[in-house]
Structure 1
Amino acid sequence: MSELTFNLPEDTDAEPCEQVFMLQQEDFDRFARLSGDHNPIHTDPGFSAQTPFGRTVSHGMLLFSALRGLLEERYPGARLLSQSLMFPAPAYADEALTLTVERQHQQGNRLGLSARILRPDGECCLQGSCELALTEARP
């Protein structure tokens, strides 16, 4: 039996992988409609202004959606086997967020990654890890 190879990006030496993105209030509102999570801390600027946050904050799973999109772009066809996420600080609309993904380990077709999303002030909005099952490379 020949040795199996798995689809990995050609630029794997370019790790960690970083992507800068920005969410807007419209993204929060659309995610609320899609998910059914209409908590006013995400969707109501007037309400949110009266909270300790002072303005609306992103849904945590909207942040994870940005991470999931980067994983699909970087590891096409890979299956997400597990994830562990924490959201230690809020993410606000109209701020440049930096998503960083780093490889932690690989065994066969299983790839362990760590991820974080940072605000411009360095505060961490998402911190976590995940495991992917990579697809077998075709000759």
Structure 2
Amino acid sequence: MSRVVRDLSFTQADFDAFARLSGDDNPIHVDPDFSARTRFGKTVAHGTLLCSVLRGLIEELAPGARQLRQSTMYPAPSPAGMPLRFEAETISQTPEKMTISLKVTRLDDGETTCVGETEIAR
């Protein structure tokens, strides 16, 4: 099976830019003062921002493929400035379809922040 991995971290400026583009300006993503008073203690990534990076990895595994479905869960936050590992791995495939597991992990403590699966048409 094929696997692709990408390590990166997001800055507050990245969260702010994504909020402007997406229209999702929830204070948990863009207001450090507000976020400091939450259980997270700092701003955290938009789930769709994480999925955007994962979609890029899917494209590496299957260039030009059409995404049929995706499901993701976010068991832990991805704070600004935290190094993250993004992974996409083929778990099954036929000539018509491919199923890919998706995962984002914080590199400092190994905590999974996003986990899911997608199915694509080839």
Q: TM-score when scaled to structure 2?
A: 0.93
Give the root-mean-square deviation of aligned CA atoms: 1.2
| Residue deviations 1:97-130 (CA, integer Å, cap 9, x gap) | 1111121111222000111000021111110000
**Secondary structure of 2:51 counterpart:** helix
Question: Among 85, 89, 92, which residue is 1:102 paired with?
Answer: 89
Say if 2:47 is the partner of 1:60. yes
The 5 A counterparts of 1:20-31 are 20-31=7-18
1:25: how far off? 0.8
Q: Which runs of 4+ in 1 moved over 4 A?
A: none
> Does the alignment pair 1:47 with 2:34?
yes
Which one has the largest radius of gyration? 1
**Does residue 109 of structure 2 align to residue 124 of structure 1?**
no
Of all paired residues, the percent bearing the same amino acid is 49
Instruction: Say which SS state the counterpart of residue 31 (structure 1) adopts.
Output: helix
Deviation at 1:16, TM superposition (A): 2.9
* Counterparts of 1:113 and 1:63, CA distance in 2: 16
Instruction: Measure how far apart 1:82 and its partner are.
Output: 0.6
Give CA-to-partner distance per residue, 1:80-101, whole Å, 9 cap, x none. 1110110110001111111111
Contact 2:97-2:119 within 8 A present in 1 as well: yes
Q: Name structure 1 gaps, 5 residues minimum.
A: 1-12, 135-139
* 2-structure distance, mates of 1:69, 1:103: 14
1:76 alignment partner in structure 2: 63
Whether 1:90 aligns to 2:77 is yes
Q: Which amino acid aligns with 1:83?
A: Q
